[in-house]
A and B are shown apart, each in its own frame.
Chain A
């Protein structure tokens, strides 16, 4: 028999890692866009929502959502690739139609447009022809078996897959950003867009790529979240906005524009939220996250890993 206190500690740590890695995946998209265009892409949390809902619609269309149906082994990998591609394409379209015409406009206008895009995605998603206004239950597309028991905690393969896929995606991104020509171009644009353009970097194409990468990461996070928590709320439900918001908080806490900071921030938010929920009060989990944000803004506005920048005129 394991000690219940230790079981609780291990279980909370496990959940914090899983949730934290999802936050990290979403936060990467926020931080990449902010690093280059300096605005909060409010529609990012809706891409995450679409990632979950598109995978549900896909499962329903292929008959995996029917009662008693068992999804084939390739269902999970296929679904995640499918949502990453569709949402990546959507991210590209949004950037092309809504954000690119505002490249030289004041940032507040881009911010308002982003809110408009976010409202549009949510409310079009609510239409009966799209996803409807009913919450749905996501079928299991990943093998869900108990692998082992450690200190009273059952290690489920779903949890490990969520963490594993998230880690792999982050490592791939890290490699792309720091070891490829594309990554070099992205870092150059983020440092100084104008100088990058003068050096012959195709800025618009780099920005488009950034949106595609960020959106597909958010979509993957949406799919993984739907695997871990199968109850899908309706598209305009405030939980989606809130999850996205907390991921943005993770990006700010880690230092906005800093990829490793976003990952660290995401894990930190996961730990704060779930340990607070487990050991203090489960109802105030959002309060802990936003209190952490206020504290960071007060004492270290550039974030934990960010560097303070001086405003130049």
Chain B
């Protein structure tokens, strides 16, 4: 570095030693996989089925909430069609694993144990689902995010409805091996059960992959929040015109946030599709589901990753505990939304993380 660029020199001096940097960069991932492994192999076997399912539901809710937080929280846009992207991911992943199992192994029986062949097919399917959802997000986001205003809300709602209509028009699931082998790719992709739902998808979602997805969405969105791109998102949220004047490419960043969110919604959809005791059908993933995800973000704090996570946990566990009041659940959510906006519009934690809060404020002033 012969040309003495003072900024470059300073940033060089600030850079951590190579070992520490590697630890910082890879450490969280190692922790994610370690926790996932412990959950699946050491705790999972002793966990009764019901608790494992609730835990899985909580994980999926966290992935959905934290990913929607990228759009509704960080970027200040308003998407209310997150369940639509979940459906895209779920259907694509389900098609890959269901027909993949039939074509490769002649049935939906699981091949190999933990991290066996079936699970890798599942990972491939989930990634395909995420990418498909991301593409859908790009197509939906581009026309509406070019404009200011609330058009995104309408367009995402409309997208969910169109998707529902299209899925309902699909053919019944094929299950005779001979038919599946004879069918073309297009036939397989359009034989996903129609209005009745996609039944027969192998149950491949386990705590390991749920934990990996949760870890990935948490680590990535935390890093995003503190990156250049994330600062751009927050700038758009605070004042779009000012951000534009400062050279933030607003449309590009808004679309990018939307695509990231759609990708993770697709992953969550894949986990949901392969979970025990759920059926993937278009009605399940409608307005209601989208609103539930919105409520998690609004409640937890728009922009707060830990707040949204906490809200996702509470809003998934609480209905389980209060099953007899299920009728009043949506009324309570509605009152919660209105009350929150009137009394604490930034959500419980606002843009802050839980650990940013100081609980010793009173002692500080002597």
Chain A residues within 8 Å of B, Cβ to Cβ: 38-40, 98, 101-102, 105-113, 115-120, 122-124, 126-127, 236, 238, 241-242, 245, 248-249, 252, 283-284, 286-287, 289-290, 293-294, 297-298, 301, 311, 313
Contacts and interface: CB of A to CB of B under 8 A. Distances in A.
B165 A283 contact: yes
B334 A123 contact: yes
A238 B338 CA distance: 21
Nearest to A122: B330
A120 B330 CA distance: 7
B338 A98 contact: yes
Majority SS at the chain A contact face:
helix
B335 A120 contact: yes
B237 to A, nearest CB: 9
Contacts of B154: 40, 245, 248-249, 252, 293
A238 B337 contact: no
A157 B262 CA distance: 49
B335 to A, nearest CB: 7
Nearest to A248: B154
B153 interface: yes
A102 B4 CA distance: 54
Given A111-B150, A293-B154, A117 B334 contact: yes
B341 A109 contact: yes
A40 B337 contact: no
B87 to A, nearest CB: 14
Given A115-B337, A119-B330, A123-B330, A284 B165 contact: yes
A311 B241 CA distance: 8
A108 B337 contact: no
Contacts of A124: 331
A245 B153 CA distance: 10
B345 A109 contact: yes
Interface string B282-321: 0000110001001000100000000000000000000000
B150 A313 contact: no
Contact of A286 (B148, B161, B341): B161
B330 to A, nearest CB: 4
B341 A107 contact: no
B78 A111 contact: yes
Contacts of B327: 126-127
Nearest to B242: A313
Contact of B158 (A38, A118, A249): A249
A103 to B, nearest CB: 12
Nearest to A107: B150
Interface of B: 76, 78, 80, 143-144, 146-151, 153-155, 157-159, 161-162, 165-166, 168-169, 241-242, 286-287, 291, 294, 298, 327, 330-331, 333-338, 341-342, 345
29 contacts: A38-B149, A40-B154, A98-B342, A101-B342, A108-B76, A109-B341, A112-B294, A112-B298, A116-B341, A119-B333, A120-B334, A120-B335, A123-B334, A127-B331, A238-B161, A238-B286, A245-B154, A249-B158, A283-B168, A284-B165, A286-B161, A287-B165, A289-B158, A290-B159, A297-B147, A301-B146, A311-B148, A311-B241, A313-B241
B334 A116 contact: yes
Contacts of B294: 112, 115
Contact of A283 (B80, B151, B169): B169
Contact of A105 (B291, B298, B337, B345): B345
Contacts of A238: 161, 286-287
Contacts of B165: 283-284, 286-287
B285 to A, nearest CB: 12
Contacts of B161: 238, 242, 245, 286, 290
Given A109-B341, A290-B158, A290-B161, A40 B241 contact: no
A22 B187 CA distance: 40
A124 B241 CA distance: 40
B337 A119 contact: yes
A101 B340 CA distance: 12
B162 A286 contact: yes
Contact of A301 (B147, B153, B291, B345): B147
A115 B291 contact: yes
Contacts of A126: 327
A245 B331 contact: no
Given A102-B342, A113-B341, A123 B150 contact: no
Q: Which 3 A-B pairs have the closest CB atoms?
A: A116-B337, A120-B334, A119-B334
Given A111-B153, A298-B143, A102 B341 contact: yes
Given A126-B327, A283-B165, A286-B158, 19 more contacts: A101-B342, A109-B341, A113-B337, A117-B338, A119-B331, A120-B335, A123-B330, A123-B334, A236-B330, A238-B287, A241-B157, A249-B158, A252-B154, A286-B161, A289-B158, A297-B144, A297-B155, A301-B146, A313-B242
A294 B337 contact: no
A249 B161 CA distance: 14
A168 to B, nearest CB: 29
B294 to A, nearest CB: 7
A238 B160 CA distance: 11
A109 to B, nearest CB: 5
Contacts of B345: 102, 105-106, 109
Contacts of A284: 165
Contacts of A102: 341-342, 345
Nearest to B166: A287
Given A40-B150, A283-B165, A286-B161, A241 B298 contact: no
A124 B335 CA distance: 11
A184 to B, nearest CB: 26
B241 A120 contact: no
A252 B333 CA distance: 29
